[in-house]
Structure 1
Amino acid sequence: MEKIIRKIKAGFSYRPGIREFEELLKSDEIDFKNLRKLCFAGCPFESGSGIRSVCWKILLNYLPLKRGGWPDFLKKQRALYRQFVQEMIIDPGRKANAGVHEDHPLNPNPDSSWQAIFKDNDMLVQIDKDCRRLCPDLFFFQRATDYPHEDIVNCDSNIETLRKRVEQCVLHSETVSRNRLGITNMMSSRRKSSEEYAALPEGQEAHWEVVERILFIYAKLNPGLKYVQGMNEILGPIYYTFASDPDVDCREYAEADSFFCFTNLMAEIRDNFIKTLDDSQCGIGNLMMKLYNYLQVKDPALWHLLKEQDLKPQYYAFRWLTLLLSQEFPLPDVLRIWDSLFADASRFEFLIHVSCAMLMLLREDLLKSDFPHNMKLLQNFPPSIDVQTVLAKAVEVKDRHQGL
């Protein structure tokens, strides 16, 4: 690890070679400590390697360390996910289309099955809207997947799928307004329909639709949290990594594997998405305070400026920390950063170091500028700063914090 740290700090774009990863991953039992060391310096991304997918599945506590158990484990988990799809999408869709409900849609009782359906539809519309705009600069999510979910695309036409549910929720509405003369007007409005997003033909699914299904099932299985905006930005890079892997098996089961890896990751960071915990010791507020405390020690002058200009971390660091920097860098750089975050033995302590490094790399510009300029700069991290430069600075911050 010290060798890797020295090379990164020296400015080298150091990455372990494919052979080092292959040697480690072919062992009967994966050396988790050494895997973390290698992944911290970056997983190989050369075409055909497919190493990042396997490493992330291990780092996110999905795949067991003993390789011999992988086939049976994956078969079991993928079958379990297929069962989730059946129980939470297909079966309810069949009942909804057949009108099989014990009560009336207008029943105001909170325990009414119709009330649950209406709430699910509201949540689904939000998920749908967020997933459609996932990584807009990348055409990947708009493309059709080669492996649509068989139980969905081959189901009876009378079954209400998620796509049909969204289309039925997109209704014409009329707003009543009264002008200054007291004349009543009816103004028609209409939300964007799926046709305006160029939905794929029946039998095909875009990658964003797969992400939508994963998030819907996750929300149904986690009723205490449900879906919170931003979860799509956490799932997107994971699904992209698996669905674009050169290994056919990895691509074919990218949906199920992404679901479980995302679930495991959310188990570690879910408190950041719970608003009532913002000011608690485990909430996002505590993380932002920790970042500011780091900065106060590492760069007192910069810390004082931000405090003087009232540039609160809520204005920019909230997004950095909650979404694991997925909105601040191009996707390839996000994947590289996540290699180190997932390999972090302190579980995302390195995220604070990276965020602190980002602030320190902007210090010269920040120190000479006013509030409006600095606000814009912090909310739009300059693409001219290379991700390796950020990571090298983060390692420096990490070492100084540990007194090395």
Structure 2
Amino acid sequence: MSSLHKTKIAKFQSILSEAHINLPVLRELCFSGIPFEGGIRCLCWKILLNYLPAERSLWDSVLEKQRETYAHFLKEMMIRPGIAKVKFGISREDVTLEDHPLNPNPDSRWNTYFKDNEVLLQIDKDVRRLCPDFSFFLNPTEYPCRLIMDHQNEYETLWKRVEQTTLKSQTVAQNRSGLTYVSSPLKTSTSYPLNEYDPLPNGCEAHWEVVERILFIYAKLNPGIAYVQGMNEIVGPIYYTFATNPNSLWKEHAEADTFFCFTNLMAEIRDNFIKSLDDSQCGITSKMEKVYSTLKEEDEELYLKLQEQNIKPQFFAFRWLTLLLSQEFVLPDVIRIWDSLFADEKRFDFLLRVLCAMLILIRGQLLEGDFTTNMRLLQDYPLSDGDVLPILKKAKELQDSK
């Protein structure tokens, strides 16, 4: 470890040990990259995503309360239909005339169960291919969900529910990041065959199964948006960061902490996932237009070239913006970019600069290329020098020039 990096760690430790965290100073430090050592990144992300308050003395009570709340969500939403709670915490089968699998009543628990399966099928499909070039999500977690492991007759394992369902897989109505209405599909990879994502033996749980549960609980609690394809790419890096925390006391609660940080992040970017808001001022169309208007200010020649070739921002910027670049780079680079994005006080204004920087850094290739060549470049971005630091440096220059 270099002396410069040791000095950086010491600065973070000093700020994070204060009774009241100086948020402007912390943001400035985080913007330049957060150290992994000592769980510093995990802690900083929790603060930047408004999961932990600036008052350090409140951290323990906030974490205890939120983790208890998540445990309650699991008990309420993972229970098998037809199971009723009776006295002394004992459960029993409870299929009645009023609530049985064939009951057409829309308020029936079974009817809700079958509707949930439509969303769950899409979640299951997506999480099984999460970061396919990165084996982490295939590996077993050290902390499987004890509620499910210890009470499998009462609470459901989601992949078993998917296997058991006879529902035909349907496209979720909010499935927008698949870009069915524009030209650029989500990037997929088959580096790992899907059968490698088969569940682990009883008593074990892979990391992708934890992510599946987080997304299912989120969808249940947020029926207005439910689950949209691509959310798995947002929750994945957060969970990975928390689940690899060197502090085991915090790593044990990676699932609950990820859920709340993901929920807070989605509260800020959820408009990108709601199709009915696409053409509103806060919608994704407006943000894509800002990418080109910003590019025009910074590099009019490149802007005109893309316009001349009729390369619309929808063809590439939709995915870049909606998924916060999580599909454009390898996971460690995504995490480094997110250090800066989460530290952005204006909340993701910096993302527009990053996108423009990405275009400007390959301007030579874009100016020389034809439509097909340039579309290939934009949909499979060529990472310069093997890391994202040149992109972040250029984005910072663009930001500072204003």
> Same fold, TM exceeding 0.5?
yes
How far 1:394 sits from its partner (Å)? 0.3
Query: Which of these residues, 5, 12, 32, is aligned with residue 21 of structure 1?
Result: 12
Whether the aligned pair in 2 keeps the contact of 1:272 and 1:283 (CA below 8 Å) is yes
Aligned match of 2:181: none
Q: Which moved more, 1:359-368 or 1:381-390?
A: 381-390
User: Is 1:54 the equivalent of 2:43?
Assistant: yes
How far 1:159 sits from its partner (Å)? 4.2
How far 1:107 sits from its partner (Å)? 4.4
What SS is found at the alignment partner of 2:311? Answer: coil
Aligned match of 2:231: 231
Q: Which moved more, 1:158-167 or 1:106-115?
A: 106-115
How many pairs does the alignment contain?
Answer: 368
Deviations 1:263-315 (A, max 9, x none): 00000000000011111101111100111100111111111111111111111
Extract unaligned runs of 5+ from structure 2: 85-90, 170-192
Quick one: structure 1 residues 242 and 196, their matched pair in 2 at CA, closer, same or farther if it must change by over 3 Å?
closer
How far 1:14 sits from its partner (Å)? 9.0
How far 1:105 sits from its partner (Å)? 3.4
Quick one: structure 1 residues 63 and 120, their matched pair in 2 at CA, closer, same or farther if it must change by over 3 Å?
same
How far 1:384 sits from its partner (Å)? 3.3
Quick one: structure 1 residues 161 and 39, their matched pair in 2 at CA, closer, same or farther if it must change by over 3 Å?
same
Aligned match of 2:389: 388
Aligned match of 1:361: 361
Quick one: structure 1 residues 288 and 203, their matched pair in 2 at CA, closer, same or farther if it must change by over 3 Å?
same
The letter of the residue matching 1:116 is T
How far 1:118 sits from its partner (Å)? 1.4
Q: Which moved more, 1:71-80 or 1:105-114?
A: 105-114
What SS is found at the alignment partner of 2:66? Answer: helix
The letter of the residue matching 2:300 is P
Aligned match of 2:342: 342
Quick one: structure 1 residues 92 and 104, their matched pair in 2 at CA, closer, same or farther if it must change by over 3 Å?
closer
User: Is 1:78 the equivalent of 2:67?
Assistant: yes
Aligned match of 2:400: 399
Whether the aligned pair in 1 keeps the contact of 2:271 and 2:283 (CA below 8 Å) is yes
How far 1:97 sits from its partner (Å)? 9.2
User: Is 1:33 the equivalent of 2:24?
Assistant: yes
How far 1:69 sits from its partner (Å)? 1.2
Whether the aligned pair in 1 keeps the contact of 2:238 and 2:262 (CA below 8 Å) is yes
Quick one: structure 1 residues 194 and 14, their matched pair in 2 at CA, closer, same or farther if it must change by over 3 Å?
closer
The letter of the residue matching 1:245 is N
Deviations 1:41-68 (A, max 9, x none): 10013xx421000000000000011111
User: Is 1:153 the equivalent of 2:149?
Assistant: yes
% identical equivalent positions = 60
Quick one: structure 1 residues 306 and 15, their matched pair in 2 at CA, closer, same or farther if it must change by over 3 Å?
farther
Whether the aligned pair in 2 keeps the contact of 1:218 and 1:226 (CA below 8 Å) is yes
Whether the aligned pair in 2 keeps the contact of 1:242 and 1:254 (CA below 8 Å) is yes
Taking only aligned residues, the RMSD between alpha carbons, in angstroms, comes to 2.3
Query: Which of these residues, 85, 90, 94, is aligned with residue 83 of structure 2?
Result: 94
Whether the aligned pair in 2 keeps the contact of 1:90 and 1:160 (CA below 8 Å) is yes
Aligned match of 1:64: 53
Whether the aligned pair in 2 keeps the contact of 1:167 and 1:194 (CA below 8 Å) is no
Equivalent runs, 1:2-401 vs 2, <5 Å: 17-45=8-36, 48-90=37-79, 92=81, 94=83, 98=93, 100=95, 102-157=98-153, 159-169=155-165, 197-385=197-385, 386-400=387-401
Question: How many angstroms apart in 2 are the aligned matches of 1:159 and 1:329?
Answer: 37
What SS is found at the alignment partner of 1:327? Answer: coil
Whether the aligned pair in 2 keeps the contact of 1:15 and 1:43 (CA below 8 Å) is no
Quick one: structure 1 residues 315 and 16, their matched pair in 2 at CA, closer, same or farther if it must change by over 3 Å?
farther
How far 1:93 sits from its partner (Å)? 7.2
Quick one: structure 1 residues 156 and 114, their matched pair in 2 at CA, closer, same or farther if it must change by over 3 Å?
closer
Question: How many angstroms apart in 2 are the aligned matches of 1:245 and 1:279?
Answer: 40
TM-score by length of 1: 0.86
The letter of the residue matching 2:204 is Q
What SS is found at the alignment partner of 1:128? Answer: helix
What SS is found at the alignment partner of 1:50? Answer: helix
Question: How many angstroms apart in 1 are the aligned matches of 2:155 and 2:55?
Answer: 41
How far 1:396 sits from its partner (Å)? 1.2
Quick one: structure 1 residues 138 and 285, their matched pair in 2 at CA, closer, same or farther if it must change by over 3 Å?
same
Deviations 1:182-212 (A, max 9, x none): xxxxxxxxxxx99673310111110000000
Aligned match of 2:88: none
Quick one: structure 1 residues 394 and 213, their matched pair in 2 at CA, closer, same or farther if it must change by over 3 Å?
same
Deviations 1:196-251 (A, max 9, x none): 73310111110000000000000000010000000010000000000001000111
Question: How many angstroms apart in 2 are the aligned matches of 1:365 and 1:271?
Answer: 33
Extract unaligned runs of 5+ from structure 1: 1-12, 174-192
The letter of the residue matching 2:397 is E
